[in-house]
Chains A and B, each alone.
Chain A
């Protein structure tokens, strides 16, 4: 087994091999250099770090993942993409294959005025530094080495700039597919900048059909003043993959942000979600659903920052864990000194379907304002045997009864999904 240091030197080697003499645009070269430098400075986390106590590091550090150079000549047809796209739903589609944009597989035609799809790589010629406006540092977020790792190895991702007063007619679906026969490390980065008075719905999904790979995604979302944004993330990586995914959202005054992180795939999964409520009268709904079976580990860490007065946040994370799977939920609510009249509610509920499934749950409230309403609650339970018997005694078979009860358990989270076909897809995951 390799150590975090050895893994970092491996990353440095890959970086040198691919990017050192590479003629990437200046901004990208800078971002990568900054990323790798910070990594060396901070080091990669280990289980000794409080925030990473339960994570499975050998699944990452123990592998010599290679960084894809191009899409590796993998051929994927539009028909093959269909199994990952939304059913009967008209959506803008951006497909990234092994970290690179594939226009031929995407569907980005738009007649909406002033709205264009862009990818990070296509920003190269413009010579702009989109990151300077949006990058996590600007928000003053916690240092997360996996975000630095993503920057260091950055190749491509979606860049959506939604101009003021735009109501997107269709949801945007950003699809990251990892495929091929190599043990890859992919670093998708999505940047979504939503202007003022907008209405947008975005789905990012992570899928794969190859063996071991490591997908380390970062998504940054800025929700402009008085805008309404729905964000869904569906993690359906292949069974042997490792997925570390980080979502940062920065909300401006009077905005409403609803997010749902759905984690199903991969053997080891870390979900970081961090929302910053920067101004007054903001509403944030932060939901999550994680489904574990086999030996899966799903490790969730969320943080909501209330920086200014009169904002509300509702957070509901639900886990359904079967077999030998384990889950972690660590949710922090940070109420800054200025944030009077904050109303924050956090709930984590877990359904353990087997005696061997485990959950570690830890809420953290850090409150520096005195006139606030903050509540949190966690429950861990089993499937209700009485309810199972009641359903079965009416003629409903075991499997259906099981599905009915698990769906009912997850319903309040799933029902917040505004894309009907996605909602149905998520329900279908439960039988």
Chain B
């Protein structure tokens, strides 16, 4: 599905990603964990096409194509979806209009005719019911005045409607109470199948109790410092990140650990 090779990225001369290697196959769920500030969101945003980060080295191949060469909208149309850690409020733009434009943009790219208002509403109605999303919510402006939980649920709702091949969920679990977490998790479970891949970025292993990952990677200081199976989550839960941090820090080249 996606192959990330030696990816380096910076923002305003500050190096953030320092050689990420990650391969994800069809049907796999990968979790990326790690302490705050390690670069998890940076990686997610770069995959979605955020131009504020500068990729200085490396390559990303998505379904055989050069991903880094594509505009964000082309990535979305090719099948990438990133659920934002902090979904953006867009006053004046209704959720329905936004989602219909997005879906028809993707359909157009695939050579499918646009859905008319009726077809569109019928299709989203079903997904709304599944996620317990209220009609009022989608008549409102995108994320405007939404509670934290509503925002996150809206991200998962969009994922379901747009139906990507690779979903990247950036801390979609944070700030959710247990019921909301279950809703989000079931949304992901419904979405996932042998043709789709998911990257779950999370801080806690909580979500991983509901969405079982095939692999877990620990990102620290712009590098994947440890990878393993789902048991790694429990190990991290018990020991925290300190041991991994210490190990990684002592393994750094001298000048960088001093800096």
Contacts and interface: CB of A to CB of B under 8 A. Distances in A.
Whether chain B is bound by chain A comes out as yes
Given A386-B88, A390-B87, A404-B98, A395 B93 contact: no
Interface in A393-416: 393-398, 400-401, 404-405, 407-409, 411-412
Interface string B63-99: 0000000011101110001101001101111000111
A10 interface: no
B105 A387 contact: no
Given A387-B90, A392-B49, A395-B106, A404 B101 contact: yes
A312 to B, nearest CB: 24
B105 to A, nearest CB: 4
Given A389-B50, A404-B101, A395 B91 contact: no
Nearest to B91: A408
A146 B160 CA distance: 60
Contacts, number: 80
Given A387-B90, A390-B84, A408-B90, A396 B102 contact: yes
Contact of A393 (B82, B92, B103): B82
Given A387-B90, A398-B71, A407-B92, A393 B48 contact: yes
Contacts of B84: 390
A391 B77 CA distance: 12
A391 B90 contact: yes
Given A397-B105, A404-B98, A392 B72 contact: yes
Contacts of B92: 407-409, 411-412
Interface residues of A, number: 23
A397 B73 contact: yes
Nearest to A386: B88
Contacts of B52: 385
Give the 8 A-B residue pairs with the shortest CB-CB distance, closest first: A408-B92, A395-B76, A394-B102, A395-B105, A392-B72, A390-B88, A395-B106, A392-B73
Nearest to B50: A389
Nearest to B47: A393
B158 interface: yes
Interface residues of B, number: 33
6 contacts: A387-B88, A387-B90, A389-B72, A393-B72, A400-B101, A400-B105
Contacts of B9: none
B125 interface: no
Contact of A395 (B50, B51, B103): B103
A238 to B, nearest CB: 31
B65 to A, nearest CB: 16
Given A394-B98, A394-B99, 6 more contacts: A384-B88, A386-B88, A389-B51, A390-B84, A393-B76, A396-B101
Given A393-B49, A393-B72, A404 B109 contact: no
Contacts of A397: 73, 105
A373 to B, nearest CB: 25
A347 to B, nearest CB: 14
Nearest to B82: A393
Contacts of B188: none
Nearest to A410: B92
Contacts of A398: 71, 73
Nearest to A394: B102
